[in-house]
Copies of this chain bind each other. A is one copy, B any other.
Amino acid sequence: MAEHAGVSISTVSRVVNAEKYVDPATREKVEASVAALGFLRNESARTLRPGQRTATIALVVEDLTNPFSAELAHGVELVAAAAGYVVLLLSTGRDEQGDRDQTREKEIVSELLSRRVDGVLMVPGVDDADGRYAALAERTPIVFVDRLPRGVRGDVVLLDNAGGSRRLTRWLLDRGHRRIGYVGGDRGSGTGARRFSGFRAALKAAGVPEHRELLRFGQHTSEEARTATEELLALDEPPTALFCDNNRMTVGALLAVHRARADVVLAGFDTVELAEVLVDRVALVTYDPVDVGRQAATLLFERLAGSTVAPRRTTVPVELAEFGN
């Protein structure tokens, strides 16, 4: 490359980096050679120098087949691309029990550290018992999304899970429902726990007793949710309304209610396409996952720009959308 242009490699570097103080004629010569040879600077070599960035951020999610993760990733990618960064995508997956695979998470942490990514966006597991996130956070700016694991400091972008659930539950209570079924996923996970606590808080505030036989946790797929809903509907005293704590649950419940032609009102967390045309009355708590990704990435880039303010917590508001005739 340098020989082809008849200059030193320092000069090539200066041209490629668009530095000032290069003679226009020299610049032209070099640019001609760059074009002729299809020269593209080796990023690994550039990165090697201390103080140089990889211009790479990583996004760690559980599973991209969940639309939340996919849209989140899209929001992140938009911001990253605009900043000239590139996104490394890693999924943690789940083990047989539906928990986070800790081995895989540790592997991911090492990978990110080895590759010297400039920053990390992560939908974390609920706790950080072994300090794996802390070890990462010590060396790399990190923004957590959707939950802040116990035992780590870091910026975090949260959804208003409890608040959304409270509003959704109140919506049902306002319509006179007292026997509300709960179709839920993981009760232990941060998200599920917060949504359930919002549900309970609303009942308590209204002085409405809980019906333990109407609570179904542990469903992971819409199929499981459908079965759980069918069981609820088959009770001697079935619920008059259902609270679904995420989109999988809502889909399953919709199927069950629709097929049973049951007269049940639905309230669900997350957007579900076509939900509103399936049952007579439904309310959904929604938010824009793309925007969550955008916000989280923006926080991260503020850190990369040098911000050293105390860990920040942003809560993305949720909307209650009511459908039905």
Complex partner residue of A64 from B48, B63, B73, B274, CB under 8 angstroms: B73
Cβ contact within 8 Å between A48 and B44: yes
Cβ contact within 8 Å between A86 and B71: no
Q: Does A273 contact B (CB under 8 A)?
A: yes
Cβ contact within 8 Å between B254 and A65: no
A90 contact set on B, CB distance < 8 A? 77, 81, 86-87
How many of chain A's residues have a CB under 8 angstroms from any CB in B? 51
Q: Does A259 contact B (CB under 8 A)?
A: yes
Within 8 A of B (CB), among A207-242: 222
- Give the number of copies in the complex: 2
In the bound assembly, the distance between CA atoms of A176 and B218 in angstroms comes to 46
Cβ contact within 8 Å between A70 and B81: no
Complex partner residue of A45 from B48, B73, B104, CB under 8 angstroms: B48
Chain B's nearest CB lies how many Å from the CB of A244? 14
In the bound assembly, the distance between CA atoms of A278 and B277 in angstroms comes to 8
In the bound assembly, the distance between CA atoms of A110 and B113 in angstroms comes to 25
Q: Does A41 contact B (CB under 8 A)?
A: yes
Within 8 A of B (CB), among A108-149: 110-111, 113-116, 135
Chain B's nearest CB lies how many Å from the CB of A316? 17
Complex partner residue of A42 from B48, B65, B255, B278, CB under 8 angstroms: B48
A67 contact set on B, CB distance < 8 A? 65, 67, 70
Cβ contact within 8 Å between B54 and A44: yes
Name 5 interchain pairs, CB-CB below 8 A, sorted by A: A40-B110, A64-B71, A78-B91, A86-B115, A88-B88
Q: Which of A67, A104, A114, A259 has the most CB of B within 10 A?
A: A114
Chain B's nearest CB lies how many Å from the CB of A257? 10
A114 contact set on B, CB distance < 8 A? 40-43
A275 contact set on B, CB distance < 8 A? 274
Cβ contact within 8 Å between A43 and B251: no
Which residue of B has the minimal Cβ distance to A91? B77
Cβ contact within 8 Å between B277 and A251: no
Cβ contact within 8 Å between B74 and A38: no
Known: A43-B114, A114-B41. A74 touches B63 (CB 8 A): yes
Cβ contact within 8 Å between A64 and B70: yes
Within 8 A of B (CB), among A250-301: 251, 254-255, 258-259, 272-275, 277-278, 290
A86 contact set on B, CB distance < 8 A? 88, 90, 111, 115
Q: Does A2 contact B (CB under 8 A)?
A: no
In the bound assembly, the distance between CA atoms of A73 and B115 in angstroms comes to 21
Which residue of B has the minimal Cβ distance to A58? B86
Which residue of B has the minimal Cβ distance to A87? B89
Cβ contact within 8 Å between A274 and B254: yes
A77 contact set on B, CB distance < 8 A? 64, 89-91
Chain B's nearest CB lies how many Å from the CB of A1? 14
Q: Does A189 contact B (CB under 8 A)?
A: no
Q: Does A47 contact B (CB under 8 A)?
A: yes
| In the complex, per-residue mask of A34-58: 1 if CB is within 8 Å of any chain B CB, else 0 | 0000101111110110000010100
